[in-house]
Chain A
Amino acid sequence: MGSTGAVHATHVPHVVAVVTPYTIPVGIMDVLQVTLLVLVAAGATAVVLIREPVRQVIVLSGYGVLLAALFMAFQAPDVTLSELTVGAVALPMLLLLALAKVKRREK
């Protein structure tokens, strides 16, 4: 997302390649992205299949972390932060509190 890339991109709008000492080779990046896509699919399935609510919420939180890692691998750090805060922390927390409330009423 750097400004250097944007300047070069004026001629070739679809290719923005900036090589830095920290640039991860394309091959490794591809492997990382595919791995994370598979893990996210598995995580989503796990969330659906687990029927016990509290356990489901914990897995949902882990799924949020996976999704955040996926967004990071696809070069979206802003969305990564949002997913981490909301998907991995805020949503599971609200669900846990709601579950605690419901359980208390059941007793």
Chain B
Amino acid sequence: MTPGQRRWIFLAAMAGLAAFYVWGLAGLPGFGNYPGPYGDIINRIAVAQTKATGVVSAVNFEYRGFDTVGEEFILFVAATAMAVVLRHLRHEREEDSPGATEDWAVPPASDSVRLVALIFTGPVVVMGWFLASHAQTSPSGGFQGGVILATAFFLVYLSGEYLLFRRISPVDVTEAFEAVGAGGFAAIGVAAVVMGLPYLKNFLPLGTTPGAVSSSGTIALISFFVGVEVAAAFILIVGELVEQTLLVRQGDH
């Protein structure tokens, strides 16, 4: 195929895409106009029904909890797959680059980086747990909290303490946490079924005060498990990548 022909095919495809795009834009509701009924219904009933003032979390972990289980397991499967693929590679020898060890001796972290990492590690842990445990009260949730919690571990690594990073997050333990997090979410759903309720039905007492940390029944509990799962998954993924990237393999395994 000549470049000229290719260009014509591209232009035809572009014209088609542009036409559909403009057509789609023309059919959108006006800026700020929300036509659907669901948001309005949720806004009206969610706080009274779930006792959660973090309505987004109520939607995520209650009204569409089943979808969230699916999303949770996407991350779980991704982290597991990554661990399996990279673990296989770890046993490979890099014979094609015998001098690689010296070339890639990682420079030690500078004092300023170490200091910043040291200062931030504690607050980041607190912030992560705060977000993961307050999904029911304010804009937050297990997912965001989990990622931030994992960041605390990366700060330890950033401060140049790879061995410490590995000691506080051994692969086995991290994997166990990930499994407990993902399994806990699913188990809450199954527990409802065991009680004769629909899957993921909120079976815990909701509390009386909307917005209290102890309110909202399973919403808070699910957020906690999601936080554990996400934090463990991220530590696992980044840990494997770091191990691949840096030369921590001593000798030939």
Q: List residues of A (50-66) whose CB comes within 8 Å of B's CBs.
A: none
**B240 closest partner in A (C-beta):** A97
The one of A10, A77, A94, A104 that contacts B44, using a Cβ cutoff of 8 Å: A10
Which of the candidate stretches B9-17, B97-105, B166-174 sits at the interface with the other chain? B97-105
Q: List residues of A (84-100) whose CB comes within 8 Å of B's CBs.
A: 84-86, 89-90, 93-94, 97-98, 100
A93:B56 contact, CB within 8 angstroms:
no
When chains A and B are docked, how far (Å) is the Cα of A13 from the Cα of B242?
51
Residues of A in contact with B, size category: 20 to 34
Instruction: Give per-residue flags for A1-41: 1 if the beta carbon is below 8 A from chain B beta carbons, else 0.
Output: 10101110110011010000000000000000000000000
**A10 closest partner in B (C-beta):** B44
B141 within 8 Å of A (CB atoms): yes
B34:A3 contact, CB within 8 angstroms:
no
The one of A81, A90, A98 that contacts B139, using a Cβ cutoff of 8 Å: A81
A82 within 8 Å of B (CB atoms): yes
Take A3-B210, A85-B147 as given contacts and tell me if A16 and B43 are in contact as well, using a CB distance cutoff of 8 Å. Answer: yes
Least Cβ distance of A64 to chain B in Å? 12
B224 within 8 Å of A (CB atoms): no
Residues of chain A lying within 8 A (CB to CB) of residue B100:
104, 107
The one of B53, B148, B151 that contacts A3, using a Cβ cutoff of 8 Å: B53
Least Cβ distance of B176 to chain A in Å? 22
Q: List residues of B (197-251) whose CB comes within 8 Å of A's CBs.
A: 210, 234, 237-238, 241-242, 244-245
A90:B234 contact, CB within 8 angstroms:
yes
A82:B44 contact, CB within 8 angstroms:
no
Residues of chain A lying within 8 A (CB to CB) of residue B34:
14
A89:B245 contact, CB within 8 angstroms:
no
Take A1-B55, A93-B238 as given contacts and tell me if A104 and B104 are in contact as well, using a CB distance cutoff of 8 Å. Answer: yes
Residues of chain B lying within 8 A (CB to CB) of residue A89:
147, 151
The one of A6, A16, A82 that contacts B144, using a Cβ cutoff of 8 Å: A82
B44:A78 contact, CB within 8 angstroms:
no
Q: List residues of B (143-166) whose CB comes within 8 Å of A's CBs.
A: 143-144, 147-148, 151, 154
B2 within 8 Å of A (CB atoms): no
Least Cβ distance of A86 to chain B in Å? 7
Residues of chain A lying within 8 A (CB to CB) of residue B141:
78, 81
A107:B103 contact, CB within 8 angstroms:
yes
Take A14-B33, A107-B97 as given contacts and tell me if A94 and B147 are in contact as well, using a CB distance cutoff of 8 Å. Answer: no
A90:B147 contact, CB within 8 angstroms:
yes
The one of B53, B103, B245 that contacts A97, using a Cβ cutoff of 8 Å: B245
Residues of chain A lying within 8 A (CB to CB) of residue B241:
94, 97-98, 101
Residues of chain A lying within 8 A (CB to CB) of residue B237:
94
B40:A9 contact, CB within 8 angstroms:
yes
Residues of chain B lying within 8 A (CB to CB) of residue A10:
44
Binding site for B on A (CB under 8 A): 1, 3, 5-7, 9-10, 13-14, 16, 77-78, 80-82, 84-86, 89-90, 93-94, 97-98, 100-101, 104, 107
Binding site for A on B (CB under 8 A): 33-34, 40, 43-44, 46-47, 53-57, 97, 100, 103-104, 131, 139-141, 143-144, 147-148, 151, 154, 210, 234, 237-238, 241-242, 244-245
The 8 closest A-B pairs by CB, nearest first: A77-B139, A85-B147, A81-B144, A97-B241, A6-B43, A78-B56, A13-B40, A100-B245
